[in-house]
Structure 1
Amino acid sequence: MEWYVVGLGLLGLLMLFISIGLPIPFALAAASLPFLWQIQGWKTSIVSSELKLWGVWIDYILLAVPLFVFLGELIGKSKIGPNLYQFLHQGVRLRGSAAYGSIGASAGFGAVCGSSMVGALTIGGVALPEMLRLGYGKRLSSGVLAAGGTLSVLIPPSLILLFYGIVTDQSIGDLFIAGVIPGIILVSSFVVVVLIWGILRPEDIPGSEDAAKMPMRMIVATVGPVMLIGLVITVAIYAGIATPTEAAAVAASLTVLLAFWVGGLTWQGFKEAIFSTMRTMGYLGLLLSAGVLFGFVLTYYRVPQQFTELFLSFDLSPYTVLAIVLVFYIILGMFLEPVSMTFITLPTIYPLMSAAGFDLIWFGVVYTITMEIAVLTPPVGLNLYVIQAISRDQVTIGDVIMGCLPFIGAMILLIAVLIVAPDVALWLPEQMR
């Protein structure tokens, strides 16, 4: 069977199954199975599918995923995340402190949790009602929190960078550290966006805020756990003391202790964190397993390699190839969430980017920023609906979308900076080596 027949067949079946409402993991598996039967036959393919499913669940590297998810859920169910926002809001005595505090809290949360949606839920659940009460504009309030949640995706540890490393076989540690400087730039860009917003639309930011000053004891109990957890993850991975999986295990254990000790976590909250992690991993586990089947069929028929050769035969410049890929992902991000896109498209795209001459660590950072844009673009922008849901109908989905546009512009500008100056992402990994 020709490679293009397989590629178009897989894509056609996948779109068909998704359009009739089949969940993406099952759609991926269902699209793969007819071609798997052509390769191995019915009985062998069933056994092969079972082995690949089992292989995903016992993969050592992938054990970091549930541990980071559990860590984020613990912080979300305790008072550590919400208190971080209160500290940054009440501790910064200037106009717009709640908006700046939301960005800072989202960045701090991103340093200990790699999930965009968990970040938006945790910080947004506390910050959005408070910002609306203080008189902030609906678009600014919802936009800064929806976009702030994406900082968890770029600032390490990041689940998208972790999945990217697994699919492309790149160093997880190098990918994590490559995201540090772009992450800092993006946080600074969001602050500038709020500053400019306040100048252009001063009515959206109140002149004074009636926020009580946080006691020193609460400040220590708030900042201390986040700094300690982030330090454990950072030092363990980058100093070569532990693998990302081991660092995630130690950080998750430490988070359990801190969440109970200073975060006010209850046994009910602890159980909810466990069940929420299980639900998330149930979906991700099926998605990973189906993605492995999908990738196996693609690889067997050499679809990525043949696609790369075909694309390069048009003799396009590397930056034209990059532009086409980025536009493709932004459009696709309007309909699929980032994890699904990673396992559906990346096995075909990354060989093309490598053949075009781009560093795959650098492309991992650019790819991750593009995935951040994806969670802010309708109709399937997850963060949009998270923020709209926690507003309890005080904010419309249109308000959230309009509020996100300036922050999406900041992300696009960061991609342009990375294209012009790749060392922004590559300098730190090179120094660490």
Structure 2
Amino acid sequence: MTALAVVVLLLLLILIRVPVSFAILGAGLVGLLMIGGGNVVDGVMQTVPATSVMSYSLSAVPLFILMAHLLMLSGLLDSLFDAARALVGRIRGGTAVASIGAGTAFASVSGSSTAAAATLAQTSTLKMIDEGYSPRTASGLVAVVGTLAAMIPPSIILVFYAITAEVSVGDQLVAGAVPGVIIACGLVVMLYVTMMRNPDTVPRGEPATWGQKGRALLTAAPLVLVFAAVVGSIYLGLATPTEAAALGSIAALILVIARKRFTMVAVGHTLVETTKSTAMIFAIIIGAHVFGHFLTESRVTPSLVAWVGDLPVPAVVIMVFIGSIYVVLGFFMDQIAIIALTVPVVLPLVEALGYDPIWFGVFMVLLAEVGLVTPPMGLNVFVVARSAGQRVEEVFRGAFPYVVAMLVTALVFLIFPQVVLWVPQSM
């Protein structure tokens, strides 16, 4: 009963828009106070805030955020769409396919879904509309493509999950690469499925000469090198995720200097934004650890595992139910908050059902990201609507077919877990 009351309190705090970190921390403190009194609260607050963030693995988070901000400062990200469009622009739907390709490449150096959606909205969405795509198709597709940044390494979300789940950060990051590409391919398939129903909404693009293709690829090549340096060094075991993040940040800074974008004002703004994002994530980590102490004291997790283990249904049915919960949570909550709140409770249950925690990280993040493009929250949708000057309702409608593609892909991952696991197992 105490655990239920604390969960209700947490949900109420989130609904009245208390910052997630303070909502989690406050609910955890109330729960500890109800169970153990003031002495328990005092002991937890003396140790948890410091120990929860004093992790070497966590140092990768601000470095990956810094790398993404520096790459955006370099201006190279704008060239991704031009390069992809030069390669496939001439086929029917080529500009839309180029948007998916550019979003996938952007995800490999960004780690931020909303940043990816905002950047693509200002370039590819407007270009697609100018070429004759329906605004609904163009904006909805870009909103969904932006979610790939949470899956493809270096993903801040996957780093946070790995630390919360106490699994290898390197394995978890590498595990997201192939699923990210599969999701992108699923979006392309859905694009052509919708095109078959209404071909007029997906026009033919403009052809490019071999010279134009070469120049576009040459411009985008430095970003490929940064991605190869970061992910390749992790996969080959040449560097830890933290060392790879530092390497990527240095490479990004070199690109900023080489492209003459280095100014003290711009770099200062980059550092401030990096600090703000890092502080937000660390605050959620502290709150989650306090809430985790409450869950440990109340013995919610072992009780839940025992109850579910006795259910007379197959494991896959239970996983579908868990997946549905993550989709619903994504409607209302930030992905990092979802991980902080649910992983300590759900992961023991998932492992008891025989599923790998690395696989579950990819599966859970994919489902939680659906919330970024579905009402009522749909953060990516609001970002794209504002950046591209479209109505929010139209963007939601345009995103719906691609949300279906994401859910089908999640079902494939559930039925065939090795699709996710074969790359990290080969490290």
| TM-score of the alignment, normalized to the shorter chain, above 0.5 | yes
Partner of 1:18: 14
Q: Is the 8 A contact 1:79 1:265 kept in 2?
A: no
Tell me how large the CA RMSD over aligned residues is.
2.2
Q: CA deviation at 1:115?
A: 1.8
Aligned residues with identical type, % of pairs: 31
Q: Give the aligned partner of residue 399 of structure 2.
A: 404
* Counterpart residue number, 1:192: 189
The correspondence of residues 78-93 of structure 1 with structure 2, limited to 5 A, is: 78-92=74-88, 93=90
Distance 1:170 1:412 in 2: 25
The one-letter code sitting in structure 1 at the alignment partner of 2:121 is G
Question: Separation in 2 of the partners of 1:70 and 1:285?
Answer: 15
Q: Describe the superposition over 1:226-284 as per-residue Cα deviations: whole angstroms up to 9, x where unpaired.
A: 11111111222111121111111111111111123137455443232222222222221
**Structure 2 counterpart of 1:250, one-letter code:** L
Which residue is 2:24 aligned to? 28
- For 1:235, the aligned partner's letter is G
Cα distance in 2 for residues equivalent to 1:130 and 1:268: 31
Match of 1:291 among 288, 291, 294: 288
Structure 2 CA distance for partners of 1:283 and 1:322, relative to 1, 3 Å: same
Work out which of the residue numbers 39, 55, 60 in structure 2 matches 1:59.
Answer: 55
Corresponding letter in the other structure for 2:218: V
Q: Deviations over 1:201-228 (max 9, x none)?
A: 2222234449897474553232x22111
8 Å CA contact retained: 1:80, 1:259 = no
Q: CA offsets per residue over residues 28-60 of structure 1, 9 Å max, x none?
A: 111111233356653663463253223344321
Letter in 1 for 2:219: A
Equivalent residue, structure 2, for 1:269: 266
Alignment of 1:4-403 (within 5 A): 5-38=1-34, 41-42=37-38, 45-46=41-42, 48-92=44-88, 93-209=90-206, 214=212, 216-217=214-215, 219-222=217-220, 224-262=221-259, 264=261, 266-392=263-389, 395-403=390-398
Partner of 2:412: 417
Unaligned stretches of 5+ in structure 2?
none
Q: Separation in 1 of the partners of 2:367 and 2:168?
A: 20
Kept in 2: contact 1:124–1:145 (CA 8 A): yes
SS of 1:206's equivalent in the other structure is: coil
Please give the secondary structure, in 1, of the residue aligned with 2:426: helix
SS of 2:110 mapped into structure 1: coil
CA contact (8 A) 2:57 2:169 kept: no
TM-score in terms of structure 1 length: 0.92
Per-residue CA deviation, residues 138-189 of structure 1 (Å, 9 max, x unaligned), is 1111111111111111112222221221111112222222222222211111
**What is the CA distance between 1:359 and its match in structure 2?**
1.6
- 1:324 is displaced (CA, Å) by 1.1
Read off the aligned partner of 1:423 and give its amino acid letter. Q
**Counterparts of 1:423 and 1:336, CA distance in 2:** 29
Unaligned runs of 5+ in 1: none
Distance 2:273 2:334 in 1: 19
| Cα distance in 2, alignment partners of residues 277 and 129 from structure 1 | 29
